[in-house]
Amino acid sequence: MSEITQLKAQRYMEAENKRHFLDLQKMKAEHRREFELAQKEHNAQMERLTKDFEIEVSSTKNETDQKLTEVRRKSTELLKEEKSRLSSVIDTLKSTHEDQVNELKKAQDSEISNIVSSHKRTLESAREKYMKEKMKWDV
C-alpha cells in the first residue's frame, strides 16, 4: 500500500503544484492588469499636468508680455512728456536770457549815453572856462 499511498501523495502534490501554479498565473495576470491600469492612470495624469503646466506658462507669458507692453507704453509717454517739459524749460530759459541780455544792453546804452553826456558837459564847461580865460588874456 505504500505504493498506492505514494501515488496518491504524488498525485496530491502534482494537483497542489498545478493549483499553486494556476493561482500564481492568475495573480500574475491580475497584478499585470492592475499595473497597466495604474500606469494608464498615471500617464493620463502626467499628460493632464503637463497640459495644465503649459497652459499656465503660456498664460503667465501673455500676462508678462502685456505688462511689459504697458510699461513700455508708459515709459514712452513719460519720455515724451519729459522732452516736452524740457523743451518748454529751455524755451523759457532762452527767453529769460534774451530779456536779460536786452536789459543789460539798455542799461549799458543808458550808462554810455550818460557818460557821453557827462563828457560833453565836462568838455563844454572846460571850453567855456578856456574861452573866459582866453578873453581875459585877449582884452
- DSSP of 122-136: HHHHHHHHHHHHHHH
Q: If you ran DSSP here, which 8-state letter would residue 56 be given?
A: H
> What pLDDT band is residue 133 in, cutting at 50, 70 and 90?
confident
Percentage of the chain lying above the pLDDT 70 cut = 99
Residue 126 in domain: no
The residue range of the domain holding 104 is: 1-114
Residue 4 in domain: yes
Residue 133 in domain: no
Residue 3 pLDDT: 86
How many independent structural domains does the chain possess? 1
What span, in angstroms and rounded, lies between the C-alpha atoms of 132 and 5? 182
Residue 132 in domain: no
Residue 66 in domain: yes
Residue 120 in domain: no
Residue 15 in domain: yes
Mean pLDDT of the chain: 94
For range 45-59, the mean pLDDT: 97
CA distances from 55 to 50, 66, 67, 125 (A): 9, 16, 18, 103
Can you read off the three cell numbers belonging to residue 130?
578856456
